[in-house]
Structure 1
Amino acid sequence: MVVTPTPRPIFISRSNVWTTAFRQFNRPRFSESSGMLYVTFASDEMEEDAEDLGGPRREFFRLLVRAIFQGSGAFEESPNGFTPKLNIAHVQNGVYRTIGKMMSTIIVQGGEPPAFLAPHVVDYIVTEDILQVRVTPDDIADAELRDSLKKVKQASTVDELEEALDCCDTWRFQIEGLPNPVTMDRRNEFIRNATLYHVILHQQSCFNQLMDGLSYYGVLPLLREHRSMRIFLDMPEKRDEVTAEVLACLLKPSYSVLGSDKRPKEELMVVKFREFLQCVENKELGEILGARTLTEEEKDFVQNLGLGHILAFATGSSKIPAVGFQPNPKIVFIHDEIKRHPVAHTCSNELLIFVNAKNMADDDEFEYCFVVALMNGALFSTI
């Protein structure tokens, strides 16, 4: 199955992304289609309706990834990443299959990859062979269970091993095939097999549905044929953050022609914008705005502001999609002596910066206006 040019409309509530997305992806007619999603957002206060040239779709995918792992109730988090959580009602309703279709759609249609799965989950998805799955106790989401297996691993004497095994007595005799008795020589076998049971075998029905859903668009066969593609699902050991330099290079200025009297002013605004990015990256923005009397809400926002917020404001995506942005993001300059707050057109990945005496002044006006725009993204962003 390939993406077809025929648009596939989808209507989403930002306040309830999971429920509204699941209702539509779960419709047989909807999931039978392979068209590019055409996203319309709605809220209780107003209906947003504009041509989706990519921005709303990317924003939806970003919100959907978060909803899958935080709002669906289908996953739980371990120290190594997210793993399916057995939910009988979800199995009966095919939720894991639908999530697989969502993930396939996100990957194929250029969203932020749903790369939050623990490595053992992806191992099993790409091999479907439990003997090839790498596991450690840190793959277990339940803290008490995880700690009990770690105690077994750390035992240095027979007495310590017996004491650690006592903590496992509530479940270990219910699992057929575990070593019994557990000796120092066989404790690693005990730990591996117990972990495999708790993170895969116990949730086998969830994995079966998830893999079935990932067959949508032919993603599962591609994952198994090209193992390097697992980066679309794997929780990276270290999450790559958007840097000021990367973001500055990503948002290319659309300057006036050389020799124009507008050009020097635009170049000055780019310098101020790059300084703003550096301040955000270095957590210096609070100091820059120190002379202002900020509200408590503004103080909290400034303290937690990251470069991903700025990228999401301009494009609808807080991370760079695996397939890149289409069209390429850019800065557009508007010479206007009245307007000061930047505006984003996420459909075309444009950040509009207003060039005027107020924004060019050697004070904190430009930085403060940018913060206000970011805080009130819905007011200063159009789709």
Structure 2
Amino acid sequence: MTQMTAVDDGGPLREFFRLLILETGNVVSIFCGSEGKRVPAHNVLALQRNEYFFVGKCIALSITYGGPGPHFFSKSIARYLCGESITSPELEVPDYEIREKIEKVSKVQTTEQLRVLLDSEELSFRFEFGFSAPNRELNLEDKSDIVKSLSFHYLVYANRAELDQLMDGLQLMQQNSTLFRPLLQLTTIPLLTTSQMLKLFKPVWSELGSNKREEKESIILN
């Protein structure tokens, strides 16, 4: 019997990391938010067990060894993990009720409307994230700062310990943020269509009537 040595080009390892990353993004005790907008969930027990660190390490290892990136973090969280500044975080707050209240603040048109809304029971939670300025001192111009403060609190500051532990596992990402950020967030690159593919290349036909000509026509036209 002839013994043959199997050749491993990294396929099994990449498949392992693909399944690992797929399952990681769906662990509800670690992450929350809709698909493509995942945010670390606040979980003290997971923090104590260093689970966020291990998740970050798994992601870094997957990318290092040719596996996939997670592609499930929200854009703001991806930027934070890569050490970049965050813009427009209000649309990515995972809690629907909080996001709805933030949207109400963003839609007020007058100073009076803003003060009435902030003075209501619905927005009483604003004191929890440190925005304690008296209503009489607030004007419509302060609206964007209020929206940003609310959004940053629920998207980043409330989960700061989890994010920082995740960053510890992702260390190498911060060194190449431009390169790695697209691997962390959901991308919307359109698929290449058949017609676009045909436009990229010009076939070199064999002599008309030859067997090779028939083979090429079969491949290209079918």
Fold-level match, TM-score > 0.5?
yes
Q: Highest relative contact order (Cα 8 Å, sep 6+), 1 or 2?
A: 2
1:104 CA displacement: 0.5
User: For 2:113, which of 116, 141, 160 is the aligned residue?
Assistant: 160
Tell whether the 8 Å contact from 2:36 to 2:72 is kept in structure 1 after alignment. Answer: no
Higher helix share: 2
Task: State how far apart, in whole Å, the 1-side matches of 2:71 and 2:195 are.
Answer: 20
- TM-score with structure 1 setting the length: 0.46
Could you list the per-position Cα deviations for residues 139-186 of structure 1 after superposition, in whole angstroms to 9, with x for gaps in the alignment?
A: 2011110010111011113453245433222x2122224543243221
CA contact (8 A) 1:117 1:234 kept: yes
Match of 2:185 in 1: 234
Deviating above 6 A after TM superposition, structure 1's stretches of 4 or more consecutive aligned residues are: 246-249
Give, in whole Å, the separation in 1 of the partners of 2:216 and 2:57. Answer: 45
Q: Give the aligned residue type for 1:138.
A: L
Identify if the C-alpha distance between structure 1 residues 69 and 197 changes in structure 2 by more than 3 Å, giving closer, same or farther: same
Q: Percent of aligned positions with the same letter in both sequences?
A: 23
Give the structure 2 partner of residue 312 of structure 1: none
1:139-288 equivalent positions in 2, closer than 5 A: 139-162=92-115, 164-165=117-118, 166=120, 167-169=122-124, 171-181=125-135, 182-215=138-171, 219-224=172-177, 227-236=178-187, 239-245=188-194, 267=216, 270-271=219-220, 275=222
In 1, the alpha carbon distance for the partners of 2:41 and 2:64 equals: 25
The aligned residue for residue 348 of structure 1 is none
After superposition, residues 1-383 of structure 1 pair within 5 angstroms as 52-71=8-27, 73-77=29-33, 81-127=37-83, 132-162=85-115, 164-165=117-118, 166=120, 167-169=122-124, 171-181=125-135, 182-215=138-171, 219-224=172-177, 227-236=178-187, 239-245=188-194, 267=216, 270-271=219-220, 275=222
Q: CA RMSD in A?
A: 3.1
Q: 1:265 to 1:77 in 2, by over 3 A?
A: farther
Cα distance in 2 between the residues matched to 1:265 and 1:200: 61
The TM-score, its normalising length taken from structure 2, stands at 0.76
Unaligned runs of 5+ in 2: 1-5, 199-206
Where 1:103 maps in the other structure, the secondary structure is: helix
**Closer/same/farther in 2, CA of residues 164 and 174 from structure 1, 3 Å limit:** same
Give the unaligned 5+ runs of structure 1: 1-49, 250-257, 276-383
Deviation at 1:54, TM superposition (A): 2.5
Q: Residues of 2 paired with 1:185 and 1:193: CA distance?
A: 14
